[in-house]
């Protein structure tokens, strides 16, 4: 089983390496919290800054949740949709997962499985574009369907799965039915044999993974393990699952991705890394979150192409209690002031807001250099991810007490 898990991991990262991202952003803008600015080393062409937006005007939302522990096959399609990332931004065209075109979103629905129960997902391609809306570099090894269209294939990142259901980069398929050389089925089986953890699904097509990811093809996948997880963790409204991504936008709302590569004479549009100047949590640019003075659980996925998030809390009375990582729970919670989350990584942590008064405003900040660790410092609004507004609990309500998992021992660092 360990060998299989390792193989899956290797295949996934190979896919990313074969189809690296691209990018650049405006360079060295002054620190100004009213400005949208990326300020990273330019690998390829410098991209125009995204339209300026007012941060923290929309509440953090949660993607729809679908229980896949029932044994019933779920059909999820990829659809071309429009989505608003911010009231100040025009609609953005995306390719996104959903049970229908009307409900598709980026991130897609959060799939919740139970350890020991197989689940079944049929992944459908409903993209009828004759070509990708982002610029494909035809000089690098990519799916290159003879009949055109937008190939897709879905990988469950971190999942222990058999190869037919792993979403190999060459197992792609188009909406017209053209198949990649490794295609066997689009009906995938997930064993859910592994310990409880947050996984995520994303496109994995050879040579355009970076484009399909930025186009919106990602979502979360939870393996639950009743009876084997720490008791009394914050749950319900006190548990938030969050996909973090950075994007850059044209004035018309379209995703801004380099069209001129790092060595355009050889590869016209290929770039090694992409950094967007807009930080997006669950499909919203710089949302805020209203919290009561109690503990919340945060489970995060970094779905960025290249950006590392080095996260701190702006109020020294607030701390991170990290309880889990990619593979599931840690042996003991870690009492931390900083968390680092690289691309594709997951973090599971608690923040106890009972240590501050209602009326307190706090921020989840980012100080990750881009590229990490030796690139340019984060500047402008890339230094902040999420705002917390601490409010009093409703009258006559009882908030759950802060309760670190009983099966773990607090170990201050």
The stretch among 6-14, 234-242, 353-361, 386-394 that binds Cu ion (CB under 5 A) is 6-14
Shortest spacing between CB 70 and Cu ion, in angstroms: 26
Residues 6+ apart with CB under 8 A from 162: 189, 191
Nearer to Cu ion, 203 or 277 (CB): 203
Cβ nearer to Cu ion, comparing 21 with 261: 21
When asked if residue 387 is in the footprint of Cu ion (CB under 5 A), the reply is no
Task: Select from 25-33, 122-130, 149-157, 218-226 the region that touches Cu ion (CB under 5 A).
Answer: 149-157
Three-state DSSP class for residue 179? strand
Question: Does residue number 115 form part of the binding site for Cu ion (CB under 5 A)?
Answer: no
Residue 210 found at the interface with Cu ion (CB under 5 A): no
Q: Does 240 bind Cu ion (CB under 5 A)?
A: no
Shortest gap between Cβ of 13 and Cu ion (angstroms)? Answer: 7
The answer to whether 23 and 44 have CB atoms below 8 angstroms apart is yes
Q: Which residues contact 8 (CB under 8 A, 6 or more apart)?
A: 158, 159, 160, 161, 166
Chain length of the chain = 413
Instruction: State in angstroms the smallest separation of the CB of 221 from Cu ion.
Output: 11
- At a CB cut-off of 8 Å and minimum separation 6, what does 228 contact? 115, 195, 196
* 157 lies in the binding site for Cu ion (CB under 5 A): yes
Is 12 a binding residue for Cu ion by CB under 5 A? The answer is yes
Candidate segments 1-9, 12-20, 216-224, 316-324, binder of Cu ion by CB under 5 A:
12-20
Please report, for residues 85, 98, 251, 388, the alpha-carbon distance to residue 56 in angstroms, rounded to integers and kept in the order given. Answer: 12, 27, 20, 9
Dist CA 340 CA 326 (whole Å) = 13
Binding mask 294-333 for Cu ion (x = CB under 5 A): ----------------------------------------
User: In whole angstroms, how close is the CB of 69 to Cu ion at the nearest point?
Assistant: 23
Of 44 and 303, which has the nearer Cβ to Cu ion?
Answer: 303
User: Binding residues for Cu ion, how many (CB under 5 A)?
Assistant: 3
Q: Report the residue number, 12 or 150, with the smaller CB distance to Cu ion.
A: 12
Write each residue from 326 to 365 as x if it is in contact with Cu ion (CB under 5 A), else as -, in one continuous string: ------------------x---------------------
Distance (Å, rounded) from C-alpha 358 to C-alpha 342?
Answer: 32
Nearer to Cu ion, 15 or 287 (CB): 15
Quote the strand ranges of 234-276, DSSP E: 239-247
Name residues whose C-beta falls within 8 Å of residue 292's C-beta, 6 or more positions apart in sequence: 353, 390, 391, 392, 393, 399
The Cα 123–Cα 125 span in angstroms is 7
Closer by beta carbon to Cu ion, 44 or else 206: 206
Closest to Cu ion by CB, 22 vs 156, is 156
Whole-number Å distance between alpha carbons of 216 and 213: 5
5-13, 84-92, 221-229, 235-243 -> range binding Cu ion (CB under 5 A): 5-13
Residue 217: Cβ within 10 Å count: 27
Pick the piece of the chain touching Cu ion (CB under 5 A) from 43-51, 70-78, 156-164, 324-332. 156-164
Rounded to a whole number of angstroms, the minimum distance from the CB of residue 158 to Cu ion is: 8
Tell whether the torsion through CA atoms of 341, 296, 385 and 201 is positive or negative.
positive
Measure the CA–CA gap between 296 and 235, rounded to whole angstroms: 8
| Residue nearest Cu ion, CB atom distance | 157
Structure tokens at 101: 């075109």
- Could you list the residues that contact Cu ion (CB under 5 A)? 12, 157, 344
């Amino acid at each position: 089983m360990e060998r299989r898990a390792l193989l899956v991991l290797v295949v996934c990262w190979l896919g990313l390496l074969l189809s690296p991202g691209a990018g650049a952003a405006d360079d060295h803008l002054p620190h100004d919290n009213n400005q949208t600015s990326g300020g990273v080393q330019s690998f390829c062409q410098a991209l125009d800054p995204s339209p300026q937006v007012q941060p923290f005007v929309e509440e953090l939302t949660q993607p729809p949740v679908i229980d896949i522990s029932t044994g019933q096959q779920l059909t999820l399609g990829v659809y071309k949709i429009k989505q608003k990332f911010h009231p100040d931004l025009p609609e953005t065209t995306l390719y996104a997962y959903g049970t229908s075109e009307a409900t598709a979103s980026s991130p897609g629905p959060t799939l919740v499985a139970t350890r020991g129960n197989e689940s079944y997902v049929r992944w459908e391609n409903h993209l009828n574009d004759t070509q990708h809306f982002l610029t494909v570099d035809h000089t690098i090894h990519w799916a290159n369907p003879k009949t055109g269209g937008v190939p897709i294939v879905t990988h469950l990142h971190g999942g222990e799965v058999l190869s037919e259901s792993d979403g190999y980069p060459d197992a792609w398929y188009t909406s017209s039915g053209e198949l990649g050389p490794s295609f066997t089925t689009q009906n995938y089986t997930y064993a859910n044999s592994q310990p409880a953890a947050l996984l995520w699904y994303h496109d994995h097509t050879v040579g355009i993974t970076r484009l399909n990811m930025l186009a919106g093809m990602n979502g979360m996948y939870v393996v639950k393990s009743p009876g084997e997880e720490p008791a009394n963790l914050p749950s319900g409204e006190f548990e938030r699952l969050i996909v973090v991504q950075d994007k850059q936008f044209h004035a018309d709302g379209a995703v801004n991705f380099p069209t001129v590569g790092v060595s355009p004479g050889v590869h016209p549009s290929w770039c090694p890394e992409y950094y967007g100047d807009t930080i997006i949590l669950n499909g919203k640019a710089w949302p805020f979150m209203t919290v009561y003075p109690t503990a919340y659980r945060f489970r995060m996925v970094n779905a960025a192409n290249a950006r590392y998030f080095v996260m701190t809390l702006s109020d020294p009375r607030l701390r991170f209690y990290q309880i889990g990582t990619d593979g599931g729970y840690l042996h003991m919670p870690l009492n931390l002031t900083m968390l680092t989350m690289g691309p594709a990584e997951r973090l599971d942590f608690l923040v106890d807001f009972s240590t501050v008064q209602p009326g307190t405003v706090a921020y989840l900040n980012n100080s990750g250099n881009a590229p990490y660790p030796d690139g340019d410092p984060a500047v402008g609004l890339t230094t902040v991810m999420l705002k917390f507004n601490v409010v009093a609990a409703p009258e006559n309500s009882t908030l759950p007490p802060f309760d670190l998992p009983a099966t773990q021992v607090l170990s201050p660092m």
